[in-house]
Amino acid sequence: MTTGASGASPVSRHPHGSLLSVVVVPRAGKSSIAQLVDGTIQIRVIAPPVDGAANAALLRFLADILDVPRSRIEIVSGASSRRKRIFISGVAFDELETRLHAALDKGP
């Protein structure tokens, strides 16, 4: 996984799993994941940012591409922002990086 200009990975350790920092783009033509040049993980979702629809779509999309039950993923900060921190329970740092890398390799 590529790190950004600051050298920081979008994945960080948590005592009960891992944290993932993302930038969400709502109202996209289709849901997809990409890593930008600066290392930021960008996730596009079809849903609009209305009544939590984009957040729900984000969590479903992450559960699907990371092969994690939806019940183990939650937004811990940035619920009303494009920049979000997502907690993934029970998935260690190295495992999350591996799964994220695999999802990024599949492309749009």
In the chain the first and final C-alpha atoms are separated, in Å, by: 17
Give the pLDDT score at 105. 87
Q: Convert the pLDDT of each residue in 43-73 to its tens digit.
A: 999 999 999 999 999 999 999 999 999 999 9
Distances (CA, A) of 48 to 7, 52, 58, 79, 91: 32, 8, 11, 14, 29
Give the pLDDT score at 20. 96
Q: Convert the pLDDT of each residue in 82-92 to its tens digit.
A: 999 999 999 99
* The one-letter amino acid at 11: V
